[in-house]
Structure 1
Amino acid sequence: MTNPRPFADPYLKDDGFATGRIRLSGYDAMAFSRIRKELSGGDFDRSANQQRVLRGIAAQVRARADEPGFVERGVLSVMEHLDTGGLPPSELFMLARAVASVRQDRITTCVVGGTLGNAGAASVVFPDVAQARRYGDDARQDARLSGC
């Protein structure tokens, strides 16, 4: 995947992530997806990073889906390491095959803007509800976003 900016986190990834094309291990993907306090856009930049990680995973699934056993090993790994909410292996397999069939150039990712604030002692996100509605309205008819 491509990282647009260098960043680090003293708790999750002290040596950080470089700018440019990077390859993430499982731990690094988790850290890349969770870090927010060190990013100028906080939760909003974290959301964009989560989308980057998911796109990278989807690209790997697409690129390797025809390798014998690749999808099956992935399903077993997901079952071992993630809570699938009781989804059976057969449905995870079908989901992986569906991911493999989606062309990446047909995917648009957006992060709804907003502001950061506090509710009591908790840091919270106040999304731009009007923008979120516009995205929803834009995608409602044909599942396409014209741009973000």
Structure 2
Amino acid sequence: MKKIGLLLLTILLISCQSEVKKEDLVKINGYWEIKEVEMANGETKDYKINETIDFFELKNNAGFRQKLMPQFNGTYSTNGIKELIKVVRKDKAFFIEYNTTYGKWQEEILEIADSTLVLKNKANLEYTYKRYKPFSLK
């Protein structure tokens, strides 16, 4: 009986998960900070303070991601490195493909909303981002 209950719960959770739609991909644009990372073994690491944030710019499914460091005056500093990205559809899922001089990799887009972005890499790490809200001491 427990197995049936667990199976039904699993089906319910899977069916409640929102499917990424092509028209939602524009929501990737902007500033994001990591909220938490779920490890492959199910453990979660929370990030309360981030020294860097990710800036995504995507037009026609191609663009870049850049690491930025927010400054107290409301500006950002960067090392100038931009990771080229493109979004591709494989089967029923969307992936961000990264291309740098150091390597190529991809992350599956599990969820995209106005304030949430969830990406999963091939090591089964799930990165949950929240929309970055800038601060300033001006």
> What range is the shorter-chain TM-score in?
under 0.3
Greater fraction helix: 1
Higher relative contact order (Cα pairs below 8 Å, separated by 6+ residues): 2
TM-score (norm 1): 0.22
